[in-house]
Amino acid sequence: MKQAMYTSYDALPLFLNAETVAKVLGVSISSGYELMHETGFPALRIGNRLMVPKEKFIRWVDERTGGDGRCS
């Protein structure tokens, strides 16, 4: 498993692409792309790019982990 590169949600950009999602979750970029195409994942299409608003990503993670919205 890859090491996550971010230690705080505050360090994230307002919109995340597949590469950033992968880095945050500590998975491969191809896994990040797959996740962004899954039903229920809060990705939105801007032109031909998929992006995820930071706040929706944090909420998505929290809903699946029972977290408190903070990276430790």
CATH number at residue 47: 1.10.10.10
- Asked, for residue 4, whether it belongs to a domain, the answer is no
Identify the pLDDT of residue 72.
Answer: 47
DSSP string, 11-61: GS-SEE-HHHHHHHHT--HHHHHHHHTSTTS--EEETTEEEEEHHHHHHHH
- Asked, for residue 13, whether it belongs to a domain, the answer is yes
- What is the C-alpha to C-alpha distance for residues 25 and 15, in angstroms, rounded to an integer? 15
Q: What is the pTM of this model?
A: 0.81
Task: Read off the pLDDT of residues 28-49 as tens digits, 9 standing for 90 and up.
Answer: 999 999 999 999 999 999 999 9
The number of folded domains in the chain is: 1
Domain holding 19, by residue range, is 9-65
Encoding tokens for residue 19? 């590469």
Task: Read off the pLDDT of residues 9-21 as tens digits, 9 standing for 90 and up.
Answer: 999 999 999 999 9
- What is the C-alpha to C-alpha distance for residues 51 and 57, in angstroms, rounded to an integer? 10
- Asked, for residue 57, whether it belongs to a domain, the answer is yes
